[in-house]
Amino acid sequence: MTILVVGATGKTGRRVVPQLRAEGNEVRAASRSGEVRFDWNEPAGWAAVLEGVRAVYLVAPDDPAPTEGFVKQAVQAGVERFVVLSGRGIDQADKDAWAGMREGERAVAASGVGWTVLRANNFNQNFSEDLWREPVLAGRLALPIGAVGEPFIDVQDIAEVAALALTGDGHSGQVYDLSGPESLTFAEAARIIADVRGKPIEYVELSPAEYREELLAAGYPAEAVEALDKMFAGMRQGFLNEPTDTVEKLLGRPATTFAQYAEDVWRTS
């Protein structure tokens, strides 16, 4: 069968694609700038992307509006299975937070075909590819989180679980909470990276108001500031800090530690 990976150039998608191909699957890697063009704002192009597809790895857009239409069209085109990336604790977070992921979960659950939801903790790779890369490189990580722990998960672990759910049996209707094997504070995570790099990283505790001010001053859009503010508000409640053993149960090996990630990514950086 052909498997469609939506968001194939994103942090998870660009690992899901080679994982599936290494296992011998036919993959259509789709994104605005990928092998196959896909744009959430161009529904006229969806039919060609979905032709012959039987399973979809879905990273829903922040804007929830187009997701239901895409899922319905996918089912009409013959898709029999969805695996959707979501966020751990979304069921306990502010009801106005993460509207895109919520709609992704809702749409696939209502699709009438097989579906699996992957609810993941913050990624290890957020420190090297996204949110916190520049602060780490600058030697100052300033956040409003305090001593609450986070069992950061490696994106490659997510990719392997996604490939399993897309191609294996017994995952339909399952919601998997995915985390790393240990809970670390952000200050502890910064120290691990600093030790590997041999360069200091100062962790600074901010109030939520100070954090919002710093983000706005750095040029973040107001919508992104609001989303991050809500994310940290949920994290401060502590319902994401306990590790799960789901990765180990599904893959038959321990989840990747943050220390191993740091060695692999930051040793020569």
Rounded to two decimals, the pTM is 0.96
Decide if 2 contacts 54 (C-beta within 8 A). Answer: yes
129 is a domain residue: no
Which residues make beta-bridge pairs with 30? 6, 36
CA proximity to 165, closest of 117, 121, 108? 117
Residue 87 and residue 82: Cα distance in Å, rounded?
16
97-153 pLDDT, tens per residue? 789 999 999 999 999 999 999 999 999 999 999 899 999 999 999 999 999 999 999
Confidence of residue 34 (pLDDT cuts 50, 70, 90): confident
132 is a domain residue: no
95 is a domain residue: yes
CA proximity to 82, closest of 46, 114, 52, 59? 114
Handedness of CA 73, 74, 75, 78 (dihedral sign): positive
18 is a domain residue: yes
- Residue 111 is part of which domain span? 2-121+154-178+243-250
Average pLDDT (22-38) is: 96
| pLDDT exceeds 90 at position 1 | no
16 is a domain residue: yes
Residue 18 and residue 147: Cα distance in Å, rounded?
37
Q: How many domains does the chain have?
A: 1
Q: What pLDDT is attached to residue 239? A: 84
197 is a domain residue: no
Which residues make beta-bridge pairs with 114? 81
Query: What distance separates the 2 farthest-apart alpha carbons in the chain?
Result: 54
| pLDDT exceeds 90 at position 269 | no
Strand residue runs (E) in the chain? 2-6, 26-31, 36-37, 53-58, 81-87, 114-120, 140-143, 174-178, 202-205
The single residue listed with the structure tokens 């759910």 is 165
Q: CATH code at 24?
A: 3.40.50.720
Contacts for 65 with CB less than 8 Å, ≥ 6 apart:
none
Q: What pLDDT is attached to residue 93? A: 73
47 is a domain residue: yes
CA angle, 169 as apex, 165 and 174 as ends, to 5°?
55
